[in-house]
Amino acid sequence: MGTTPNYDVNYDDKRFTQVNTEKEAALTDVEKTYGGMIDKSDDFYDKQIQAAKDYEKRQTEIQNQQTDFAIQKIEQQKDQAKKDYTKEQSGAYVDWQKQSNQYGANAEQIAAQGMTHTGYSESSQVSMYNTYQNRITTARESFNLAILNYNNAIKDARLQNSAALAEIAYQSLQKQLELSLAGFQYKNSLVTELAKTKREIDNEYNDRYQDVLKQINTENALAEEVRQYNATLAENQRQFNANKALQQAQLDLQKEQFAWQKAQAANSAKVSSGKSSSGGSSGGSKKPSVKSGSKQVKPQAKITNGNKGSNVSASDYINKLISSGANKDRVANEISLALREGAITEKEATQLRNEFTPRGIQWI
């Protein structure tokens, strides 16, 4: 009887290998695609952020230049105010000198009027000096006020510049933050899409893997059905052949038994005829019998030697009876009958009895 084949799944099957290879190739391809998109996204938004920084730098430079120019104009105005103040000082001094000069036109006019060395002349000198001092004071006050205003204007320009620079920096930072957020969101969407695509690929190839597994299990189940069918067919054929051989053996045995019984009947008839002619000299003799348990079994047929008209010897016939599973009582009867009829000798009978005594037969 053959051993049952091993139908465990062979996970080294090339179909499993092919599915795994194609899966790895698909995952590698999608990783490459999305990896390139993510790298390009990083590069794009990095450039946008750098552009915002460059714009901030340029705007700062422009704003500083405008402020410097405004302060420069204010400084120029300060310089002009200083020059005007100096000029006013010089003018006032010159005018005072002209008016107070004893040889000047004003002194000649006073002398012509006869007011030289008079109180009017002295008060006139005082008045001209006061006028000169007032002009100097007024000019100084105007100059100081102008310088103050110009300095305030410079401070204001610088404050405005600082505010403008702060606004530029704020706008630039806001732009950079917006770009960073947009870049992060876009990159995150790519990463999410990559993970989703990889899951879809994984599910797809897992389904294909399961399909291959089902296919192999189906093939194994079919192979087992074929094996069982062939085994059943072989067993049926073996039983058929065995039954056929048994039937043939039984038929052959029946033929031999029929031939033996036919020869036995003929021999019995011949023996009976001989006994009748001799006056029944053996009529008073005791017939042998075989005891099986407590039952007396009488011989059922007469037997003759194969040399006296039969093609089957008694010993062979009895052996065939036993081999075919004949009843032990019948075997005992046949041995006794063969001995009585002279088909076998006492020695042969003893040998047959000794051979079949272990089967439970008791001879008497």
The SS3 of residue 289 is coil
Contacts of 71 (CB under 8 A, 6+ apart): 154, 157, 158
| pLDDT on residue 65 | 93
**DSSP per-residue codes, 14-48:** HHHHHHHHHHHHHHHHHHHHHHHHHHHHHHHHHHH
Task: Tell me how far apart the alpha carbons of residues 303 and 314 are, in angstroms, rounded to a whole number.
Answer: 7
Residue 230 vs residues 115, 217, 233, 271, 348: alpha-carbon distances, Å: 166, 20, 5, 60, 50
Cα–Cα distance for residue pair 125/179, rounded to 1 Å: 80
Separation of alpha carbons 297 and 310, rounded Å = 25
- What's the DSSP call for residue 131? H
Question: What local confidence, expressed as pLDDT, does residue 288 receive?
Answer: 41
The ranges of the chain with pLDDT < 50 are: 1, 103-105, 107, 111, 115, 120, 279-311, 358-364
- Cα separation, 136 vs 128, in Å, equals 12
Under 8 Å CB-to-CB from 164, ≥6 apart: which residues? 63, 67
Q: Is 304 helix (H, G, I), strand (E, B) or coil?
A: coil
Predicted TM-score (pTM) of this structure:
0.47
Element (H or E) spanning 295, and its range? strand 295-297
Backbone angles phi, psi at 40, to 5 degrees: -65, -35
The backbone torsions φ and ψ at residue 292, rounded to the nearest 5 degrees and listed phi first, read -115, 105
Give CA–CA dist 315/352, Å, rounded: 8
Give residue-wise pLDDT tens across range 304-322: 333 333 445 666 666 666 6
Q: Report the distance separating Cα 342 and Cα 36, nearest Å.
A: 113
Q: What is the pLDDT of residue 350?
A: 80
Q: How far is the first Cα of the chain from the last one, in angstroms, to the nearest whole number?
A: 48
**Strand-by-strand arrangement of the 290-292 sheet:** 295-297, 290-292, 362-363
Q: How far apart are CA 203 and CA 208, in angstroms?
A: 9
Q: Are 76 and 154 spatial neighbours (Cβ–Cβ below 8 Å)?
A: no
Q: Which of 130, 133, 102 is nearest to 116 (CA)?
A: 102
> Where in the chain are the domains?
14-221, 287-363
Question: What's the pLDDT score for residue 160?
Answer: 92
| CA nearest neighbour of 290 among 356, 224, 193, 232 | 356
* Cα 117 to Cα 111, 127, 305, distances in angstroms: 9, 15, 214
| Residue found by looking up tokens 């031999």 in the block | 256
